[in-house]
Amino acid sequence: MTSQLSTKRAWWRWRPDQQWEGYLFILPSFIGFFVFVILAVIFSLGISFSDWGLTGFKAWAGVENYQALFRDPVFWRALHNTGFYLITIVPSQLVLGLAMALALNQSLRGVGFYRLIYFMPVVTTIVAGAIVFRLLFSTHGPVNGLIEGVAGMFGASVQMPNWLGSTRHSKWAVVFLTLWKNTGFTMVIYLAALQGVAPELYDAAHTDGANAWQRFRHVTLPMVSPTTFFLFIFQAIGAFQLFTEPFVMTQGGPANSSLSVVQYIYLAAFRDIRMDKAAAMAWFLFLFIFIFTLIQNRMQRHWVYYETSD
Amino acid sequence: MKRILILLTVTLALMLVVAACAVPPAPKEAAPEASEAPAASQEPITLSWAFWGSPEEAKTHQKVADAFMAGHPNIKIETMVAPWSDYFTKIQTLWAGGDSSLIPDVLFLWPTPRYAAEGVLENLDPWIKKSGYDLSDYWPALLESAMYKGSVYGLPRDIGLEVLYYNKDIFDAAGLSYPDDTWTWDELLAAAEKLSIPGERYALGMEGGKYQLWVGQNHGSILDDMRNPSKCTLDDPAAMEGVKFFADMMDKGYAMRDADLSQAGGDAAVFQSGQVAMIIQNASRVSAFNAANMNYDVAVVPIPKGGQRSASAGGAAWVMSSGSDAKEAAWTFLSWLQDTDGGQKIYTASGEIFPALQSTARSDAFLKADQPPANRQAFLTEGENAKVGRFGYFPEWGELNGSIIGPAMQRIWAGEVSPEELLPALCEQVDAFLAENGYPK
């Protein structure tokens, strides 16, 4: 226990026993991080509390930029859209990713090939993907053709959705693009987690007479729950920060129906030259994500199972 | 001791890096009189010149720079080109950085009032006065698009006014007479009915964003004053009727819906493929249609009975950076660019623009281009009647139109809501935006 006492010392205290030269090695990277990230972040906080134009500081503005945000209907629309992306994209990605991982965790012939195929969108350029998706989801495109065909088989005629041109469907087009792009990543992480589950646990469950569903529900799910937690947080942050997908696929339209918050930040900064408003939105989004993640972190003890924790 | 020394060095280095980044250089303040560049200087002055454009357009720009340098051996032009999508981010970053050696001296810019309000542009009034540059040669109302608080901050290169392009083959096959300047909305509708074939061909392809053309023709307007607005007037009967005319054309299947048009590749693509018989667009399409050997011509845009021609007087302008350290040379170049014997002629002859100067438009560079369209007079007629109305000439216009008006109108073009339903609600939002930003000022 005496050794533990020494580690109680504040982290910044000089410790002669420590190989302080180590700090020298991380210094080049730290300088870059400090100048281009930390400094810029602190700087943007200052901008958000001032009247800031193209050439710089004009006057202090207090919380005026933040108050103006809440009166801005377009900001609310963007927030609403981002919430929609969050509640559609995150759960579907987790479910789809786990399902794909379970399927590809079998010893099938050519399983490596399938894993490659499903992972391919993750490393594909999003712009190329978006162009293909624009064609797929165009009014007379293959997706509508498929819907028409299926509906025709049942003798029904349906109004073809105008995926990119109507305010009701544009968000879904963005959601599908994002799922296509990112689910492969979820699958790979789950695949690694599944392979880390000890086979003895399944054997024991099998001996106890558990059927396939029970083995999944009571062995697999709890054992991969730390991974689920990680992916949940990771993807929720990704959904909050969604930018490229709506930017290249719908440009936020029509009628701002697919505009995300980060896209609106970009527009405020570079279309409207309102750096102060953009900075205020960025900090608001940061606080939102921070609180969201904090809550999730607190909630995790109710459903995340760490094998080593007892 | 050695350790402390290393630590000190490292700390010092860190502070230097931080200091270098944190201190913004002071902006240069120089009145035209203060910068004295002796004309007889032997040392050539280097001007940096920035513009956006496709590779083909960049070639025309380079031709212009070469022609200028041939006549002005003591000025050297360095060009900086970026595609439209990156251009503004790039120059905004340069301005924000404040390093005058990196900021271009002369730039192509839109919208000028937005940047003038930020103080990065040179007020051209003193230069115009000093050199006696002739402003009366510009199309009516065009200069206003480059003015801020009553002063000229830029010289517009071209005027983006629209004409009606029509496919002669389709008109001949339908047995219709070609559009001319006697056509009203009634003739347009009657022709549209005959020209459209459901599921196969639309009569008209026109970007939704150009709707103000119909509003202005019908004596309506977007705001009560496009320079210093106090309220939205889109819900006035005259404006509403203009919007309804366009929306009805879409509802009846005469005009292609905006989203379908952009998904099909834009108006040039659908006009060339024969999916539409007419488009309403500016002069930028001429070179593409000629290259494709199309059988087409242009006409003035039909107006309602009792209406007025209402082409939009607006175009991107050449501006001078207020931080430029070679303003004398920059003005020489700027005024040469906007001279019928200088840059204007080269741009016009390239077939990419309809010139901002009336004398250039009436010169052989435009009228005797020896290529279709035959009826180039249509551009002149629209130019003579050009008006303020499409764009607001106050700094917040880009935000108002980009975030509120434009997106709301998209719902009409998508057929989701009628103009009667949407416009009053939209006007409430616009009025709230104007009040929030302190208008009228």
Domains and CATH numbers, chain A: 73-309 (1.10.3720.10)
Mutation target vs B (from A256, A257, A270, A274; most B CBs, 10 A cutoff): A256
Q: Which of B251, B266, B282, B264 lies closest to B378 in space, CA to CA?
A: B282
Rounded to a whole number of angstroms, the distance from the CA of A229 to the nearest CA of chain B is 37
A10: pLDDT confidence band, cut at 50, 70 and 90? low
For residue A15, what pLDDT is reported?
66
Question: Is A71's Cβ below 8 Å from some Cβ in B?
Answer: yes
B349: pLDDT confidence band, cut at 50, 70 and 90? confident
Is there a contact between A55 and B22 if contact means CB atoms under 8 Å apart?
no
B38: pLDDT confidence band, cut at 50, 70 and 90? very low
Instruction: Judge whether residue B23 has pLDDT over 60.
Output: no
Question: Is B89's Cβ below 8 Å from some Cβ in A?
Answer: yes
Is there a contact between B96 and A54 if contact means CB atoms under 8 Å apart?
yes
Which of B33-37, B210-214, B420-424 shows the lowest per-residue confidence on average (mean pLDDT)? B33-37
Is there a contact between A254 and B27 if contact means CB atoms under 8 Å apart?
no
Whole-number percent of chain B with pLDDT over 90? 76
Question: Is A27's Cβ below 8 Å from some Cβ in B?
Answer: yes
Size of interface A-B (CB pairs under 8 A): 100
Instruction: Judge whether residue B36 has pLDDT over 50.
Output: no
Q: Domains of chain B by range and CATH?
A: 45-159+314-384 (3.40.190.10), 163-310+396-436 (3.40.190.10)
- Which position has the higher pLDDT, B198 or A308? B198
pLDDT digits (tens, 9 = 90+) for B95-137: 988 888 899 999 999 999 999 999 999 999 999 999 999 999 9
* Residues B205 and B278: beta-carbon distance below 8 Å: yes
Structure tokens at A29: 């990277």
Which of A201-210, B40-49, B217-226 shows the lowest per-residue confidence on average (mean pLDDT)? B40-49
For residue B207, what pLDDT is reported?
96
For residue B42, what pLDDT is reported?
63
Residues of B in contact with A24 (CB under 8 A): 6, 10
- Which position has the higher pLDDT, B266 or B9? B266
Q: For residue A156, give the DSSP letter.
A: -
pLDDT digits (tens, 9 = 90+) for A23-81: 888 999 999 999 999 999 999 999 999 999 888 888 999 999 999 999 999 999 999 99
Rounded to a whole number of angstroms, the distance from the CA of A180 to the nearest CA of chain B is 21
Is there a contact between A55 and B119 if contact means CB atoms under 8 Å apart?
yes
CA A152 to chain centre: 37
Residues of B in contact with A166 (CB under 8 A): 259, 414, 416
**Angle separating helix axes A261-270 and A275-299, nearest 10 degrees:** 160
Is there a contact between A255 and B14 if contact means CB atoms under 8 Å apart?
no
Question: Is B29's Cβ below 8 Å from some Cβ in A?
Answer: no
Question: Is A56's Cβ below 8 Å from some Cβ in B?
Answer: yes
Structure tokens at B111: 């919208």
Residues of B in contact with A139 (CB under 8 A): 259-260, 263
For residue A162, what pLDDT is reported?
85
Which of A108-117, A186-195, A217-226, B428-437 shows the lowest per-residue confidence on average (mean pLDDT)? A108-117
B256: pLDDT confidence band, cut at 50, 70 and 90? very high
Structure tokens at B187: 């003739």
Distance linking the first and last C-alpha atoms of chain B: 66
Is there a contact between A165 and B27 if contact means CB atoms under 8 Å apart?
no
**Rg from Cα positions in chain A:** 25
For residue A160, what pLDDT is reported?
81
Would you tell me which residues 100-119 of chain A have a C-beta closer than 8 angstroms to some C-beta of chain B? Answer: none
Mutation target vs A (from B95, B403, B429; most A CBs, 10 A cutoff): B403
Q: Distances in Å between the alpha carbon of B188 and those of A58, B51, B166, B283, B375? A: 52, 38, 12, 21, 18
Q: Distances in Å between the alpha carbon of B335 and those of B45, B127, B130, B317? A: 17, 10, 12, 12
pLDDT digits (tens, 9 = 90+) for B88-101: 999 999 998 888 88
Integer Cα distance of B162 and B212 in angstroms: 11
> Dihedral of the CA atoms B356, B361, B363, B367 (nearest 10)?
150
Q: Which of B436, B427, B432, B437 lies closest to B224 in space, CA to CA?
A: B427
Structure tokens at A69: 């945000």
Across the interface, of B21, B114, B399, the residue whose CB is closest to A39 is: B21
Structure tokens at B412: 């009409």
CA B20 to chain centre: 38
The tally of CA atoms less than 13 A away on the side-chain side of residue B371 is 15
Torsion angles phi and psi, residue B201, rounded to 5 = -145, 140
Question: Is A225's Cβ below 8 Å from some Cβ in B?
Answer: no
Structure tokens at A262: 């980060």
Q: What is the DSSP string of B171-239?
A: HHHTT-PPP-TT-BHHHHHHHHHHH-BTTTBEEEE--GGGTHHHHHHTT--SBS-SSS---B-TTSHHH
Instruction: Judge whether residue B9 has pLDDT over 90.
Output: no
A156: pLDDT confidence band, cut at 50, 70 and 90? confident
For residue B211, what pLDDT is reported?
97
For residue B16, what pLDDT is reported?
44
Torsion angles phi and psi, residue B394, rounded to 5 = -140, 155
Question: Is B4's Cβ below 8 Å from some Cβ in A?
Answer: no
Give residue B293's identity as a one-letter amino acid code. Answer: N
* Residues B357 and B365: beta-carbon distance below 8 Å: no
Give residue B385's identity as a one-letter amino acid code. Answer: N
Question: Is A256's Cβ below 8 Å from some Cβ in B?
Answer: yes
Strands (E), A13-75: 50-52, 57-60
Instruction: Judge whether residue A98 has pLDDT over 90.
Output: yes
Question: Is B410's Cβ below 8 Å from some Cβ in A?
Answer: yes
Rounded to a whole number of angstroms, the distance from the CA of B191 to the nearest CA of chain A is 26
Is there a contact between B416 and A166 if contact means CB atoms under 8 Å apart?
yes
C-alpha torsion sign, points B380, B382, B386, B389: negative
Is there a contact between A267 and B403 if contact means CB atoms under 8 Å apart?
yes
Across the interface, of B21, B414, B436, the residue whose CB is closest to A254 is: B414
* Residues A247 and A258: beta-carbon distance below 8 Å: no
* Residues B337 and B138: beta-carbon distance below 8 Å: no
The tally of CA atoms less than 13 A away on the side-chain side of residue B350 is 19
Which residues share a beta bridge with B151? B148
pLDDT digits (tens, 9 = 90+) for B56-73: 889 999 999 999 999 999
Residues B411, B415, B421: CA angle, nearest 5 degrees: 65
Residues of A in contact with B121 (CB under 8 A): none
Integer Cα distance of A78 and A264 in angstroms: 7
Across the interface, of B17, B403, B414, the residue whose CB is closest to A166 is: B414
Residue B96 DSSP SS3: helix
Q: For residue B387, give the DSSP letter.
A: B
Residues B67, B68, B72: CA angle, nearest 5 degrees: 125
Would you tell me which residues 238-297 of chain B have a C-beta closer than 8 angstroms to some C-beta of chain A? Answer: 257-260, 263
Q: Distances in Å between the alpha carbon of B423 and those of A15, B224, B234? A: 70, 15, 6
Residues of A in contact with B120 (CB under 8 A): 54-55
Residues of B in contact with A26 (CB under 8 A): none
What b-and-e string marks burial along B8-44, b requiring 16 or more CB atoms within 10 Å of the CB?
eeeeeeeeeeeeeeeeeeeeeeeebeebebeeeeeee
The segment with the largest mean pLDDT, out of A247-251, B21-25, B355-359, is: B355-359
Question: Is B25's Cβ below 8 Å from some Cβ in A?
Answer: no
Scan for tokens 């249609």, then name that residue: B289
- Among all residues of chain B, which has the CA nearest to that of A68? B436
Q: For residue B137, give the DSSP letter.
A: T
Integer Cα distance of B343 and B5 in angstroms: 62
Instruction: Judge whether residue B394 has pLDDT over 60.
Output: yes
For residue A183, what pLDDT is reported?
94
Torsion angles phi and psi, residue A199, rounded to 5 = -60, -25
Which residues share a beta bridge with B223? B232
Integer Cα distance of B406 and B388 in angstroms: 18
Instruction: Judge whether residue B311 has pLDDT over 80.
Output: yes
Q: Which of B21, B301, B82, B3 lies closest to B179 in space, CA to CA?
A: B301
A12: pLDDT confidence band, cut at 50, 70 and 90? low
Residues A251, A257, A262: CA angle, nearest 5 degrees: 60
Please report the ipTM that was assigned to this predicted complex. 0.81
For residue B24, what pLDDT is reported?
42
* Residues B24 and A56: beta-carbon distance below 8 Å: yes
The tally of CA atoms less than 13 A away on the side-chain side of residue A16 is 0
Instruction: Judge whether residue A221 has pLDDT over 90.
Output: yes
Q: For residue B136, give the DSSP letter.
A: T
Question: Is B82's Cβ below 8 Å from some Cβ in A?
Answer: no
Output the average pLDDT for chain A. Answer: 89
Instruction: Judge whether residue B1 has pLDDT over 80.
Output: no
Is there a contact between B92 and A56 if contact means CB atoms under 8 Å apart?
no
**How long a stretch of residues is chain B?**
441
Rounded to a whole number of angstroms, the distance from the CA of A5 to the nearest CA of chain B is 27
Q: For residue A254, give the DSSP letter.
A: S
* Residues A32 and B17: beta-carbon distance below 8 Å: no
Q: Which of B100, B98, B76 lies closest to B333 in space, CA to CA?
A: B76
Integer Cα distance of A100 and B161 in angstroms: 55
Number of other residues whose CB lies within 10 A of the CB of residue A88: 18
pLDDT digits (tens, 9 = 90+) for B202-217: 999 999 999 999 999 9
